[in-house]
């Protein structure tokens, strides 16, 4: 079997790692196409190196642009790549513009498409990611769902026949890396103590693209009663510069640093008191690593994380301090994301060509 994976953004490299390993272990041919959506070394190359992902076979080098331009340019560039290779499966990941472009390029060429992390829904139609996922799920031939909630969402949209619950491949990577870094202290800024700080990331358009909202978010982080290690996504840095919002605030709780490689991020969360984020992946990683999470959004796709307040939604930045200082949940997290062996199930589903 030949599988062609299309990836482009940071969370997709994390999902690709265990899938690439399982495909190779199964003796399958695997072609990796990188769209170039994320191009900074610390958003891309470092993930391939640390997670031991083979270098991309094809790099499209598309880079940033408006949603339409970025998606359309990828679509055009993928045409000849897919037509040349004609894989048994085109595998797309998550909810980014690379996911949608890969799906459209494949279906136009009548190539079978499998969507990894199918069925996630925020039901927030203002999010570009929500459109990317819904359109991808309805176009794809095989829907690889991570959770029961995702399976239910797909069934409600009439897609049950194409759905297989495979579990969550990010859990595979998270557990493996957790075990490797557990005894390694994270590199922390001066004045930060293990267990005494919050790890934070912000990148979603809803939080970054409106100056009033972004000011409130950064002010709330800077005003927290615990030190905050903000690992700044390029979109956040660009918008703060555009709007004149300072990310360096001496004397405040806020310490801003560059994005971390994956093992460094896992270590930073593992040794933190908690997480503040608007990232989907990081909400789940906090949950898997047993750290309380406060999510600066009105909804989440990972409903399981909300149980027992392991994760709480904080729509208003002004409420962040109360959320961050809530008591640590006493109930164990449960295992809705599986035991870290989802990638093997992905490969089995691809080999079978559908549900068992
Ligand atoms: C994208 C995904 C989002 C995912 C996120 C993970 C879409 C619509 N959004 O958001 O679902 O959660 O990736 O990070 O696909 N930039 C750089 N260097 C880079 C990459 C981006 O400087 O390596 C800057 C550029 O100014 C760019 C901006 O970040 O315009 C946003 O990048 P983009 O790819 O449009 O989306 P993300 O916000 O990263």
pLDDT at 354: 75
Q: Which of 203, 233, 255, 271 is catalytic?
A: 203
pLDDT at 119: 98
169-181 vs 262-270: helix crossing angle, rounded to 10: 70
pLDDT at 184: 86
d(CA 345, CA 87): 19
Q: Within 6 Å (CB) of ligand 1, which residues are found? A: 9-11, 37-40, 43, 64, 95-97, 128-129, 203, 233-235, 238
Q: Which of 234, 239, 241 to mutate to test the pocket of ligand 1 (most atoms within 8 A of CB)?
A: 234
pLDDT at 304: 96
DSSP 194: T
Domains along the sequence of the chain with CATH: 2-168+338-352 (3.40.50.2000), 183-324 (3.40.50.2000)
pLDDT at 267: 97
Task: Let me know if 203 is a catalytic residue.
Answer: yes
pLDDT at 339: 86
pTM for the full predicted model: 0.96
pLDDT at 328: 92
Extended strands (E) in 226-277:
228-231, 254-257, 274-277
pLDDT tens figures, 6-22: 999 999 999 999 999 99
Cα(55) to ligand 1 centroid in Å equals: 21
pLDDT tens figures, 208-230: 999 999 999 999 999 999 999 99
pLDDT at 356: 76
With a CB cutoff of 8 Å and minimum separation 6, the contacts of 259 are 10, 42, 43, 201, 231, 232, 233, 234, 265
pLDDT at 185: 85
List the chain residues with pLDDT less than 70.
none
280-288 vs 10-25: helix crossing angle, rounded to 10: 60
């Amino acid at each position: 079997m030949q599988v062609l994976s299309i990836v482009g953004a940071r969370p997709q490299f994390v999902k690709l790692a265990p899938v690439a390993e399982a495909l190779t272990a199964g003796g399958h041919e695997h072609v990796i196409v990188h769209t170039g959506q994320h191009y900074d070394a610390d958003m891309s190359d470092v993930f391939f190196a640390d997670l031991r992902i083979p270098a991309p076979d094809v790099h499209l080098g598309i880079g940033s642009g408006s949603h339409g331009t970025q998606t359309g340019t990828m679509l055009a560039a993928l045409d000849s790549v897919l037509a040349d290779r004609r894989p048994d499966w085109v595998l797309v990941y998550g909810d980014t513009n690379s996911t949608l472009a890969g799906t459209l390029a494949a279906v136009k060429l009548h190539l079978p498409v499998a969507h990894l992390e199918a069925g996630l829904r925020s039901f927030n139609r203002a999010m570009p990611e929500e459109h990317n996922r819904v359109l991808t799920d309805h176009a794809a031939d095989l829907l690889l769902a991570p959770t029961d909630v995702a399976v239910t969402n797909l069934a409600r949209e009439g897609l049950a026949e194409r759905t297989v619950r495979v579990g969550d491949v990010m859990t595979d990577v998270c557990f493996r890396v957790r075990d490797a870094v557990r005894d390694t202290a994270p590199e922390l800024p001066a004045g930060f103590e293990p267990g005494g700080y919050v790890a934070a990331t912000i990148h979603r358009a809803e939080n970054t693209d409106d100056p009033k909202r972004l000011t409130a978010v950064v002010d709330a982080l800077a005003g927290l009663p615990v030190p905050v290690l903000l690992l700044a996504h390029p979109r956040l840095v660009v918008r703060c510069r555009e709007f004149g919002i300072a990310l360096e605030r001496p004397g405040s709780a806020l310490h801003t640093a560059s994005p971390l490689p994956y093992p460094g991020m896992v270590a930073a969360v593992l040794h933190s008191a908690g997480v503040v984020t608007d990232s989907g992946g990081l909400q789940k990683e906090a949950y898997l690593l047993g750290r309380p999470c406060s999510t600066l959004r009105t909804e989440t796709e990972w409903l399981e994380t909300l149980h027992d307040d392991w994760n709480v939604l904080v729509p208003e930045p002004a409420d962040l301090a109360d959320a961050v200082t809530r008591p640590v949940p006493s109930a164990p997290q449960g295992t809705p994301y599986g035991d870290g062996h989802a990638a093997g199930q992905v490969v089995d589903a691809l080999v079978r060509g559908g549900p068992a």
